[in-house]
Amino acid sequence: MEQNLRIPGPTPIPPEVAAALARPMINHRGPEFAAIIGRVTEGLQHFFQTSQPVLGFPSAGSGAMEAAVVNVFSPGDEVLAVTIGVFGNRLAKIAEAFGLKVTRHEVAWGQAADPAQVVAALDALPNAKGVLLTHNETSTGVTNDLQALAQAIRARRPDILLVVDAVSSLSCVDLRMDEWDLDVVFTGAQKGWMVPPGLAMIGVSARGWAATEKATLPRFYWDFRTARKSLEKGQTPYTPPVSLYFGLDVALGMMRAEGREAIIARHQRVADLTRSRARAMGLELFAEPAHASNTVTALKVPAGVESKALTKALREQEGVVIAGGQERLEGQIIRIGHLGYVHEPDIAACMDALERQLGALGYRAPAASGAEA
């Protein structure tokens, strides 16, 4: 049975991308690769909405988190980490691991960060060099209003560095790197980009490049300057994941054909469908509805249902694979990924299966849930 893979990464890949991944190897220092990385960079700039070069590093998204920290900061630098869940905490921990002075602004899980409160937290840190932000918190299914946050922070601190984890939002949700004046923005191939895991992509602003020159944290493999120099020659400093570049080149071609705005609208539609089907079953969103994510939906596990039994039944009986909760949300929520190569029928099938298996586990939707609507 073909799986309906509905976790927030790795995500399904289109057959065209799968075929590209099977191509024979080429010289990564030759003209064919230069042409591919040139097209890929242009495509990434379009989706990052930036005129800056977008760097690629062979790594998980977490590698990009580390790269962001080591390239623009120095030991002892003060930063404000705005954390609304597991991934915000990870970025804060990475910054701490490299000797930064991290102050956490923690928001209750399931909620988005409030711009006024973030600015108030920043006012207590007059020497802060940067703010670490998560665009879409995959662990809670919450999307921060990044534009409002960036605007509020910028109005108060015009030169502060804005580091943005956009791993599970970029290409699916609107993110305007240049217009919103963001400094380091990173994402990962296996989330919204319709390619397998193994490639992180990072955009750096002019302010970010200036910081990169002054920063004194040790770095070698992750050095943005080395990567940019190589990119100017149509290369990467070290051997790139050539097959992933084949795949990303094809994926970006498909994405350009569909159109950035159309992709954003499709993610809105599949998310709306997920949420309306969940509501009709009497299930409750974990996220505050006003900030519910368009790439991943977190639902509270109803009383009387054991989440492990539910995900097992979905996987074994239905071929539908969803995610559970992370850390203290384990057993409390289930998460349905709807990003990248996803269309309404994938979600309809997932929610049909969820309804059947909840029923098989004895769950009955509350009468007032509007199940008939």
Provide the 10 A C-beta neighbour count for residue 203: 28
Are residues 258 and 163 in contact, defined by beta-carbon separation less than 8 angstroms? Answer: no
Measured from the CB atom, the residue of 293 and 357 that comes closer to ligand PLP is 293
The correct pick among 5, 167, 292, 320 for binding ligand PLP (CB under 6 A) is 167
Instruction: Give the residue from 140, 204, 147 showing the smallest Cα distance to 168.
Output: 140
* Burial status of residue 205 (CB atoms within 10 A of its CB: 0-12, 13-18, 19 or more): buried
The correct pick among 41, 50, 134, 171 for binding ligand PLP (CB under 6 A) is 134
Residue type, 225: R
Report how many residues bind ligand PLP under the rule CB under 6 A. 12
Smallest gap from Cβ 60 to ligand PLP, in A, equals 3
Tell which positions 26-85 bind ligand PLP, by CB under 6 A.
Answer: 60-62
Are residues 119 and 153 in contact, defined by beta-carbon separation less than 8 angstroms? Answer: yes
Query: Is the previous residue joined to 53 through a cis bond, with omega within 30 degrees of 0?
Result: no
Binding range to ligand PLP, per CB under 6 A, among 123-131, 132-140, 265-273, 297-305: 132-140
111 binds ligand PLP (CB under 6 A): no
294 binds ligand PLP (CB under 6 A): no
The correct pick among 33, 73, 87, 193 for binding ligand PLP (CB under 6 A) is 87
Tell which positions 179-198 bind ligand PLP, by CB under 6 A.
Answer: 188
Measured from the CB atom, the residue of 62 and 147 that comes closer to ligand PLP is 62
230 binds ligand PLP (CB under 6 A): no
Smallest gap from Cβ 244 to ligand PLP, in A, equals 13
Smallest gap from Cβ 134 to ligand PLP, in A, equals 6
Measured from the CB atom, the residue of 165 and 346 that comes closer to ligand PLP is 165
For residue 155, give both structure tokens: 């109005």
Q: From the centroid of its chain, how far is CA 127?
A: 29
Binding range to ligand PLP, per CB under 6 A, among 13-21, 134-142, 232-240, 354-362: 134-142
Measured from the CB atom, the residue of 39 and 145 that comes closer to ligand PLP is 145
Question: In angstroms, rounded to a whole number, what is the distance separating the alpha carbons of residues 101 and 92?
Answer: 10
Measured from the CB atom, the residue of 87 and 209 that comes closer to ligand PLP is 87
Measured from the CB atom, the residue of 187 and 236 that comes closer to ligand PLP is 187
340 binds ligand PLP (CB under 6 A): no
- The kind and range of the H/E element at 268 are helix 260-280
5 binds ligand PLP (CB under 6 A): no
For residue 370, give both structure tokens: 């509007």
Whole-angstrom Cα Rg for the chain? 21
Tell which positions 243-272 bind ligand PLP, by CB under 6 A.
Answer: none
For residue 281, give both structure tokens: 């079953």
Instruction: Give the residue from 75, 128, 70, 138 showing the smallest Cα distance to 104.
Output: 128
Question: In angstroms, rounded to a whole number, what is the distance separating the alpha carbons of residues 218 and 63?
Answer: 15
Measured from the CB atom, the residue of 12 and 282 that comes closer to ligand PLP is 12
Tell how strand 184-188 and strand 200-204 pair up.
Answer: antiparallel
* Burial status of residue 14 (CB atoms within 10 A of its CB: 0-12, 13-18, 19 or more): middle
Binding range to ligand PLP, per CB under 6 A, among 110-118, 162-170, 223-231, 276-284: 162-170
Measured from the CB atom, the residue of 83 and 357 that comes closer to ligand PLP is 83
Question: In angstroms, rounded to a whole number, what is the distance separating the alpha carbons of residues 157 and 1?
Answer: 54
Measured from the CB atom, the residue of 136 and 243 that comes closer to ligand PLP is 136
Smallest gap from Cβ 170 to ligand PLP, in A, equals 10
For residue 210, give both structure tokens: 């200036």
Question: In angstroms, rounded to a whole number, what is the distance separating the alpha carbons of residues 70 and 55?
Answer: 15
Applying CB under 6 A, which residues contact ligand PLP?
9, 60-62, 87, 134, 136, 138, 165, 167-168, 188
